[in-house]
Structure 1
Amino acid sequence: MTEYSTASAIVVGGSIGGLTTALLLRDLGFQVDVYERTPIPLDGRGSGIVLQPDTVRWFAERSTQNLADLQTTTAYVQYLDPSGATVHREPARWTYTSWGTFYRALLADFGTERYHYGEFACGFSQDADTVTVRFVSGRTATADLVVFADGITSPAREYFDPEATLTYAGYVGWRGTVAWANLSAESRDVLGDAITYTVIPNSHITMYPIPGEESLDQADRLMNYVWYRNVPAGPELSELLIDKRGFTGSVSVHPGQVQDRFVAELREAAAAQLAPAVAEVVEKTAQPYLQVLSDVRSTRMALGRAALIGDAACASRPHAAAGTAKAAADAWALADALSTSAGDIASALSKWEPAQLQLSDALLRRVVDMGERSQFHNTWMPGDPDLRFGLYGPGH
């Protein structure tokens, strides 16, 4: 009988970080319930994830699923100038997955019996022994431990640090995917075995192949990208974020909801500014969407029996491709702290917090520097090792 065999835990947020947390807590003996705000299974909109050691650790160490069935691989990093000429190319092996593929694999391991859809957590309170979470539906749930993994818009963050609010970075990320089969043979040849960048004044784009949502076959792959484009705060940004329904997105505008005129401008700009193969991917994206790039970091991640992890605790620009890795690292470190705390949950959280705050701070500083170099200082140089992916530093 483990020290947590009679303990209960609530994980708020059923995305990749939340599911990793839930699986690890269950392995410690907790009875775990996950509450996800969306009413239906999550959809990653086809977006890609660069896989890093913390992200895949569950599958490497605990799952019976084969990680090789979830990923694609490229062998090079390359930079193409706007004419299409290769200005830098080096061997560098990276692996990727599609968000939906990875989410479904984690959910398959956790199961759906204690995964609750359509519950939006809006607040919580606690005493010395338990934490109670309140949901907008009127439901409440009480447990010995609560972990908030509910993303960049987490309402719980304000309880931990009322001063931690989103700060707009000055640019947005245009995202999308195109079926591999829909690209020309020339573009497939150029892009197929590399993560590809094109850097232009005050902007850059990066793209790489990811698995199709239903198949790992090369014919079903998708080319996934993010193009960072400056948009000043104020009416220009506000207008861009008004979707086709007339609603304003605070952190994103979903596929199919971006106003047609902005999509048309995106495609025209791609044709004029990007390498031909890269431009083709953007031009052929049926429903590009956009992400508002902002930074936020809570100065607290532990509050009694409540923990704040992943983007809920620290959300930052995606230049290091480390968001999912950071959430997973938070979860593994939390499990480690709990496993050595002799059942004292509050003590475990207080011991866990300092290192994770330090990791958040270091990551945020690094990606802010990367973004400033690209978008405002024009000092993003092809091949600079400081610009490589990694949670703990370039390449790590």
Structure 2
Amino acid sequence: MANVCPFSGELLHSGEERIVKRCSPEEHSIQAEGNPQPLTNPLEGEEAQNLNATSEDHPPSSLYCPPSDGSLSSLSAKGELLSKGLELNSMVEVNDPPIYGVIRWIGHIPECSEPIAGLEMEEERPSAYTDGTYIGVRYFQCGPNKALFVKLRNCRPDSRFYSLHGPTNQIQRCNSIAFREYASKCVEENTPPATDHEAVERLTGWKKGIQGHCNSCYLDATLFCIFACSSALDTILLRPPDKNDNDSYTDTRDLLRTEIVNPLRKNGYVCATKVMALRKILEAAGKSTGFTNEEKDPEEFLNRLFQVLRVEPLFYIRTPKKKPQGCIFYQIFMEKKQSVDVPSVQQLLEWSMVTGDLKFTEVPSCLIIQMPRNGKNFKMFNTIIPSQELDITDLLEDSESSVVSGGRSEAVSCDYR
């Protein structure tokens, strides 16, 4: 069995040393060491077989699972990363001709003073790679026959995607090894959301939810909230195209329905590649940019998505003596009440609408509420109690409210017309 010399890029075959010389481009040139020596002797027999343990005891191809002491354990390791623009989960190449992988672990191991990188390689090599172990010690987790350990300084940015003049192409990276084994399947049949215990079982655990990538958390969370356990907006997934729809309507609707919503409801998981496809459509649909790589507010995402799908207003609100205004969501604006540290959604909705002198014209078919916050730097309340039900009786125009006058309870209605 071949053993990997993890620190110089050599493969050891039956105790024989074979040096793979590098002839990399000038900007990534690495000086070869003279007569490099392996830190360990080749393993044979049962000990060698233990290097390639099966993956039954761990999830396949973990994105990053460091050992207890496997962090960026020195300034030299951090400096090495910064100098090359690398980080955990960076796509890299080693050797010449190059072989490609993703950095899963960085640290030190016994008998070597230099920082070491544990790579999950793009191609399996049963005779050379392990599953994230080295000399019987597990440093990270990946599929069998895919882990290679090398000196960190021998790693170069993956030349297929990397440019010295700009960042990694995130769309190409999303379709790379970092996500390939986490793909989710298309589900054509319409799938209703799961409820109660079935929903908990389907949507919790390993490889569940919507896979995040490149500042997609705001978008992933919004999609999950709207579709995972609710069918209130399923009409936008099923509306047939009409003459007023543009060419991208059908593709966008089908992508959202068959690649995101149905798989999430049926299997409890959607990979980042599918969401990136939706982000590309949103990027191309308007003048504002950043949908494929920047953090945005849910408001921006919903406005753009509903614009592309031509979604009708979900409810109407108005102030006295003004025409109703159609809305797709309600953003809570209010001054913080110093006497309340942990409000409920019910309280926030009431306070906000009363302060703004607003009323619903009728019961909303679907009410999406955005809590009071601004980006990642400001949140008015650290904790908000979710209200499982909302009572909007007093927030409807023409509704009657009960008041006490002179010791008697009387019904009072407010007419906004």
* TM-score, normalised via structure 1 length: 0.25
Task: Please say which structure displays the higher CA radius of gyration.
Answer: 2
Task: Report which of the two has the higher share of helix.
Answer: 1
- Higher RCO (C-alpha 8 Å, min separation 6): 1
